[in-house]
Amino acid sequence: MGIYAILPFLAKRFRQLSTPAQEGLASGLVSAGRIGQYALILQLLTGGYLMSQNDYTVPWMIVIVVLFVAIGALSGIVQAPLKRIVAAAAGGQDASGNVSRVQTLSAIILILFLVILWLMKNPWYQ
């Protein structure tokens, strides 16, 4: 899931790159995002099993699941602008609107990722 930690920093680079480089970066981020989504599902399943083995509070478990689902949803949503960047770069068109959207969504994903890391490190016990 490290792609979610570096995605905002890579998304900042879009404006500095040439059109073919934007296409390459966007297609690479689409592939990495897909792998990140599979890793997210795997972590949700294995984490769900581990949560059932300990006494965590129900609100903590609900918050964690909601955050995982939110990251999954936003990482799926960010795929569409990335694909549009690839198409725009291939056609030589301007993709600045999609670049802005990728930057915004990736920053939100990073914040949610950091919140999950903090909550996993400091769980609320009964």
Task: Write out the residue range of the structural domain in which residue 84 sits.
Answer: 3-121
Structural domains in the chain (count): 1
As a dihedral over the C-alpha atoms of residue 73, residue 108, residue 19, residue 82, rounded to 10 degrees, the angle is 0
- 126 domain residue, yes or no: no
Condensed to tens digits (0 to 9), the pLDDT of residues 9-44 reads 988 888 888 888 888 999 999 999 899 899 989 988
Condensed to tens digits (0 to 9), the pLDDT of residues 59-74 reads 888 998 999 999 999 9
- 32 domain residue, yes or no: yes
- At residue 27, the pLDDT reads 92
Bigger pLDDT: 18 vs 118: 118
What is the percent of the chain with per-residue pLDDT over 90, rounded to a whole number? 43
